[in-house]
Amino acid sequence: TYVVSENCIKCKFTDCVDVCPVDCFREGPNFLVIDPDECIDCTLCVAECPAEAIFAEDDLPADQTHFTALNAELSKLWGVIVEKKDPPADAEEWQGVKDKLHLLER
Ligand code: SF4
Ligand code: F3S
């Protein structure tokens, strides 16, 4: 399965949503996750993310492996998003900022 990692937090560009053929993105207040039960490993979303936040589960950087469980957990709590929307006004400022997990809103 594919996994959304930390750099999406507070960036949430949503370009990924438009290309997913099976609508497996779920939307929280400032982060998106992938439902691992829906993802068909098509790889299309990876190149769309301006923040380079999406990885195959097996390719996650070592400091991001906990995002697999977080995507699984939050995907059951959050609703489907199927269309791109405007990112937060300060999205560019948060791109590449480290240690954003404590800023995740549920
Ligand atoms: Fe959707 Fe494909 Fe990305 Fe999985 S890899 S989340 S199916 S676009
Ligand atoms: Fe997040 Fe990248 Fe999608 S920033 S919302 S995973 S395009």
Distance CA 7, CA 5 (A): 6
**What's the confidence (pLDDT) of residue 44?**
98
The verdict on residue 14 lying in a domain is yes
Structural element, H or E, at residue 56 = strand 54-56
pTM over 0.95: yes
The verdict on residue 98 lying in a domain is no
Q: Could you tell me the CA-to-CA distances from 78 to 14, 32, 43, 74 in Å, in that order?
A: 15, 9, 22, 6
Q: Is the ipTM of this complex over 0.85?
A: yes
Residues 81-91 have a mean pLDDT of: 98
Q: Whose CA is nearest to atom 1 of ligand 1?
A: 20
**What's the confidence (pLDDT) of residue 78?**
98
Amino acid letter for position 16 = C
Q: Could you tell me the CA-to-CA distances from 33 to 2, 30, 98 in Å, in that order?
A: 9, 10, 18
The verdict on residue 48 lying in a domain is yes
User: What's the total number of domains in the chain?
Assistant: 1
State in Å: Cα 94 to ligand 2 middle. Answer: 12
Q: Whose CA is nearest to atom 2 of ligand 2?
A: 49
The verdict on residue 100 lying in a domain is no
**What's the confidence (pLDDT) of residue 37?**
98
pLDDT tens digit string along 2-53? 999 999 999 999 999 999 999 999 999 999 999 999 999 999 999 999 999 9
The verdict on residue 61 lying in a domain is yes
The verdict on residue 24 lying in a domain is yes
CATH number, domain with residue 17: 3.30.70.20
CA within 13 Å, CB half, 80: 8
Measured from the alpha carbon of residue 28, the closest ligand is 2
The verdict on residue 105 lying in a domain is no
- Which residues span the domain enclosing 40? 2-81
Q: Is residue 47 within 6 Å of ligand 1 at its C-beta?
A: no
